[in-house]
Amino acid sequence: MAIVEMKHVDMLALEKDKQPLLRAIQKLGCFQLVQADSEDVNFSRAPAVATLPSLEETITRLGWAIGKLHRYDTTKKPLMADKPTIDEEQAQNVHARQKELMATVDQLEALERRAGDLRGQIARVEAAREQLLPWRTFALPLDEIQSTRNTVAMLGSLQKTVLDEWIAQDKLGELCYVEPVSAQRDQVYAYLLLHRTHRDEVMALLKEANFVAITLPASPLTAEQRLTELDAEQAEIEARQKETTAGMAAMAGEIGALMQLFDVLSSQRVRLAASRQFSVSERTFFLQGWVPAPMTERIEQRLKKVSPTVALEFTDPAEGEEPPVLLHNAKPFAPFESVVSGFSLPSPGSIDPTAIMTPFYINFMGMMISDAGYGLLMAIVMPLLIWLLKPAPGTRRMLWILTAGGVATVVWGALYNTWFGFGPFPSVFDPVNNALPVMGVCIALGAVHLFTGLGMAAYLNIRRGKPLAAVADQLSWFLLVVGLGLMIVLPSVGQWVALTGAGIVLVTAGRDKSRNPFKRLISGLGALYGATSWISDLLSYMRLFGMGLATGVIGMVINILVGMVFQSGIVGIVIGSVLFVGGHMFNLAINTLGAYVHSCRLQYIEFFGKFYEDGGKPFAPLTETTRYVYIREAGQPT
């Protein structure tokens, strides 16, 4: 339960040592830079870095090339695997190859431009084919479809039903010659030839048939010949496309080096961007930041090794300063820091609730999944996945949370006597046939959870030198709620405990708002109404019962269905086995997701609502900003 103490650091060093010091700070990964503010008139704000825009352009091009080559990379990638690691020597080697690798990017960009041009050519050919397809059977060369001084020749489409009606009624008569060429749905494509003197009359009739004139590109070939020519042209373009694709695929072998260069240059970009936060003079630079207090000695030793002339001063935060927040917990509790940070980091003067929250969190998860078979599966499979796949840190934390939840599920599932939907042993609790004891346990555990939150709020008040506030704001509610509960079993004792708590609330609730006793009494009465919120808070823990019951009932239903299928002989046994595994895997997945979400909800709304002071800004040190690989410092273990 620790928020790491932060120290403010001022650093003054020679300009010539700037880049080596920045690299050392970046490797340490525990130095958050802030905008330097030197009062010395000899210092000024650092100018913009001239090389930064070109470096960012290079990184952008590398990112595009990596994304392009990913589709051609056939290297097998392990499921959930973490990033590979390279050492400083490999990083320097790939940086030395920058010119060669950027030439590869140039070639890839040229091939992409060629591929884009070929796609445009394909689109043009396909559009021309689409236009000519209805006229495939038309025997006249395309450049002979021309009007003369006395005749009008046209190609177009019109409604098939109208044309059929005209032909049946000989409506066109001698006005116009019509040759239907092809039909598509309710449209017919036709060639029309008429004398120019009949043009207006024929056009009036064609308008009734929704006639659309079509103009084809002139060619000495027929439509069929032109389509054959276009097919050959498309085949040639597609062959060039395959050649272009093969050229891109041949570069996929460089994707690993491109990724490494991307990360090396990204780290360089971060250092260059960070240098804009310095104050500089002619020969020195000055920077400020935050570092974890336990790391000050190590930081000083490391930076002195790089630059013996560097001057460092570590001080406590000034009044009004808000240092960044870094959580640090013992190894068993560290994965659950993500639950806290998923809500909001605590304020610097508050407390980290991770260690206190963790036992409640995993027990709530166990009560909601509530099947010992599922828990056993989670407790075995999740560590195996971590060991075999070596996943990224975020995934690893989640798998450890599920492992802990699985252990708690085994305990609660055994108490409920639920093993993959079966109940082979005697049970301590039976949520299906005797729900009241289970509900009572849920409410009792919820009360302990809420009282723990009150205790943490009281601890904060006492730590800040406000013991009376702890009595007025926390002990009073503890006495009131416990007294109301005791009234069920020990009415005479419970009423006095409750009255004591209510009296403290009544007298102290408005102490910060007014010195007027009457106004304070009114505030106290209003505060007592808040006792109703405790009822709703306690009832929120009934979700532990509801979710656990749902898991068990769904498991039993799956087993009943499987038993019915098993009665169909060997085929039924095979199908039933698949149904059993698939059904229980689905039940496990959907209820694990629900248990995770609702366990978080009980922490965020019920527990944190009693004491939590959020608003902390995360500690964001200058560090290696790598996407694809880790860069290991020389001498650092793999």
**CB neighbours of 251 closer than 8 A, spacing ≥ 6?**
69, 72, 104, 107, 108
Residue 116 has pLDDT above 90, yes or no: yes
Higher-pLDDT residue of 507 and 109 is 109
Rounded CA separation 520/503 (Å): 12
CA angle at 305 for the pair 301 and 307, rounded to the nearest 5°: 115
pLDDT at 622 over 70: yes
For 585, residues 6+ apart whose C-beta sits below 8 A from its C-beta are none
Q: What is the pLDDT of residue 624?
A: 80
pLDDT digits (tens, 9 = 90+) for 495-518: 888 778 777 776 676 555 555 565
In the beta sheet, which residues pair with residue 151?
195
**Both structure tokens of 303:** 């930076």
Short-list 437, 432, 414, CA closest to 424: 414
- Cα 82 to chain center, whole Å? 17
CATH number of 146-215: 3.30.70.100
Least confident of 374-378, 472-476, 484-488, 520-524: 520-524
State yes or no: pLDDT of 486 exceeds 90. no
What pLDDT does residue 160 have? 86
26 against 492, higher pLDDT = 26
Position of tokens 């050229």?
Answer: 247
| Contact partners, residue 365, CB within 8 Å, separation at least 6 | 404, 405, 408, 409, 595, 596, 599
43 near 281, Cβ under 8 Å? yes
547 Cβ contact list (under 8 Å, min separation 6)? 367, 368, 369, 370, 591, 594, 595, 598
**Nearest to 601, CA basis, from 410, 360, 397, 370:** 360
Range(s) for CATH 3.30.70.100 in the chain? 146-215
- At residue 637 the predicted structure's pLDDT band, cuts being 50, 70 and 90, is very low
Average pLDDT (543-550) is: 90
Give the rounded percent of residues in the chain with a pLDDT score beyond 90. Answer: 40
| Cα 41 → chain centroid | 46
| Residues in Cβ contact with 429 at an 8 Å cutoff, skipping those fewer than 6 apart | 415, 416, 437, 438, 441
3-class SS shares of the chain: helix, strand, coil, % to 5: 65, 10, 25
Q: What is the pLDDT of residue 224?
A: 92
| Mean pLDDT for the stretch of residues 598-618 | 91
For residue 549, pLDDT over 80 is answered with yes
pLDDT top residue among 532 and 545: 545
261 has pLDDT over 50: yes
Which spans in 275-353 are helix H? 296-306, 337-343
Q: Which two tokens stand for residue 572?
A: 């039924």
> Percentage of residues in the chain with pLDDT exceeding 70?
92
pTM metric for this prediction = 0.79
**Structure tokens belonging to residue 537:** 């808070």
Q: 58 with 261: CB under 8 angstroms?
A: no
- Reported confidence tier of residue 633, pLDDT bands at 50, 70, 90: low
Distance CA 388, CA 443 (A): 40
Report, as an integer, the average pLDDT of 14-19. 88
pLDDT digits (tens, 9 = 90+) for 402-456: 999 999 999 999 999 999 988 888 888 888 888 888 999 999 999 999 999 999 9
- Tell whether the torsion through CA atoms of 602, 605, 608 and 613 is positive or negative: positive
Q: What is the pLDDT of residue 428?
A: 84
Residue 135 has pLDDT above 60, yes or no: yes
Q: What 3-state DSSP class applies to 177?
A: strand
Rounded CA-CA distance 153/215 in Å is: 11
Answer yes or no: is pLDDT of 64 > 90.
yes
For residue 278, pLDDT beyond 70: yes
- Across residues 172-194, what is the average pLDDT? 86
**CA dihedral for 304, 307, 310, 312, sign (positive or negative):** negative
What is the pLDDT of the chain when averaged over all its residues? 86
According to the per-residue pLDDT averaged within each range, which of 14-28, 68-82, 369-383, 479-493 is highest?
A: 369-383
Exposure of 424 by Cβ count < 10 A (0-12 exposed, 13-18 middle, 19+ buried)?
exposed
CA distance linking residue 35 with residue 212, whole number of Å:
69
Provide the 3-class DSSP secondary structure of residue 32.
strand
pLDDT at 638: 41
d(C-alpha 312, C-alpha 130), whole Å: 75
Across the range 311-334, mean pLDDT stands at 90
Residue 628 token pair: 């694809």
DSSP lists the bridge partners of residue 155 as 191, 214
Given a contact cutoff of 8 angstroms between Cβ atoms, the answer to whether 52 and 269 are in contact is yes
Looking at the predicted structure, is the pLDDT value of residue 249 above 70? Answer: yes
List the beta bridge partners of residue 254.
none
